[in-house]
Structure 1
Amino acid sequence: VVFVVVQRATRPVRRLSTLLQERQLDDLTPLQVVDAPVELLPLMEATNTTMRRLHHLLENQKRFVRDTAHQLRTPLAVLKVQVQSALRGDVDPIQGLTEISHTVERATQLANQMLALAKVAQLAQEKATAAVDWASSLREVALDLSPLIADKALDFEIDTTPAPIQTHAWMLRELSRNLLHNAIRYSPVQGKLQVRLLRDASHAALVISDCGPGISDELRKRLFQPFSAGQSHSGSGLGLAICLEITHTLGGQIELVNRMAHGQIDGLDTTVRLPLAAPSADL
Structure 2
Amino acid sequence: MTSLRRFLIISVLSALMLVNFIAALHGYRSSMLEAENLFDQKLSEMAAQFAAMPLPNVESPPSADDEQMVFQIFSGEGKLLWRSVHAPAQIISEVPGFGEHNFNDYRWRTLSYLNPNSGRRVVVAERVDQRYRLAESVILESVVPVVLVLPVAGILIWLIIGHGLSSLGVLAGILRRKSPDDFGAIRVDGAPVELLPVIQSVNSMLSRLSASFERERRFSADAAHELRTPISAIKMHLHNVRDELPNGSDSLRSLTKDVDRLAHLVEQMLLLHRTTPDHYPAKFEKISLRSLARDAIAERYADCAAKQQTIELAGDAVTVDGDRFALGILLQNLVNNASKYTQQGGRIELRTEVKTSEVWLTVADNGPGISAEAKSRVFERFYRLGGDRHSSGASGCGLGLSIVEHIAELHGAKIVMKSGLQSRGLAVSIVFPASLRSDKALTPNAKAKKALGTSREGEQA
How far apart are the structure 1 equivalents of 2:279 and 2:347? 35
Alignment partner of 1:153 is 2:314? no
Segment drifting more, 155-164 vs 121-130: 121-130
1:100-139 aligned at under 5 Å gives the runs 100-121=255-276, 125-139=280-294
Secondary structure of 1:65's partner? helix
1:21-60 aligned at under 5 Å gives the runs 28=183, 30-33=185-188, 35-36=190-191, 59=213
Q: Cα–Cα, structure 1 residues 154 and 242, in superposed 2: closer, same or farther, change >3 Å?
A: same
Checking the alignment, whether the CA contact within 8 Å between 1:141 and 1:177 is kept in structure 2 is yes
> Which position in structure 2 is the counterpart of 1:252?
413
Secondary structure of 2:398's partner? coil
How far apart are the structure 2 equivalents of 1:202 and 1:127? 23
Q: Cα–Cα, structure 1 residues 29 and 136, in superposed 2: closer, same or farther, change >3 Å?
A: closer
CA deviations over 1:245-271 (Å, ceiling 9, x no partner):
10011000112223597xxx7211111
CA deviations over 1:139-165 (Å, ceiling 9, x no partner):
011011111111111232211433222
> Which position in structure 1 is the counterpart of 2:400?
239
Q: Please state how far the C-alpha of 1:52 moved relative to its aligned partner.
A: 6.6
Alignment partner of 1:168 is 2:323? yes
Alignment partner of 1:208 is 2:363? yes
> Which position in structure 2 is the counterpart of 1:23?
none
Q: Cα–Cα, structure 1 residues 157 and 69, in superposed 2: closer, same or farther, change >3 Å?
A: same
Q: Please state how far the C-alpha of 1:57 moved relative to its aligned partner.
A: 9.2
TM-score computed with the length of structure 1 as normaliser? 0.66
Secondary structure of 1:251's partner? coil
Q: Quick one: which amino acid aligns to residue 412 of structure 2? A: G
> Which position in structure 2 is the counterpart of 1:65?
219
How far apart are the structure 2 equivalents of 1:255 and 1:135? 19
TM-score computed with the length of structure 2 as normaliser? 0.42
How far apart are the structure 2 equivalents of 1:123 and 1:248? 10
Identity percentage of aligned residues = 25
Q: Please state how far the C-alpha of 1:100 moved relative to its aligned partner.
A: 1.6
Structure 1: which 5+ runs fail to align? Answer: 1-27, 38-43, 87-91
Q: Cα–Cα, structure 1 residues 161 and 258, in superposed 2: closer, same or farther, change >3 Å?
A: closer
Q: Quick one: which amino acid aligns to residue 285 of structure 2? A: A
Q: Cα–Cα, structure 1 residues 60 and 35, in superposed 2: closer, same or farther, change >3 Å?
A: same
Q: Please state how far the C-alpha of 1:195 moved relative to its aligned partner.
A: 1.6
Q: Cα–Cα, structure 1 residues 268 and 279, in superposed 2: closer, same or farther, change >3 Å?
A: closer
Checking the alignment, whether the CA contact within 8 Å between 1:128 and 1:166 is kept in structure 2 is no
Checking the alignment, whether the CA contact within 8 Å between 1:215 and 1:268 is kept in structure 2 is yes
Checking the alignment, whether the CA contact within 8 Å between 1:68 and 1:114 is kept in structure 2 is no
Secondary structure of 1:246's partner? helix
How far apart are the structure 2 equivalents of 1:232 and 1:123? 29
How far apart are the structure 1 equivalents of 2:207 and 2:296? 32
Paired residues, number: 226
How far apart are the structure 2 equivalents of 1:217 and 1:112? 29
Q: Please state how far the C-alpha of 1:128 moved relative to its aligned partner.
A: 2.2
> Which position in structure 1 is the counterpart of 2:157?
none
Superposed CA RMSD: 3.9
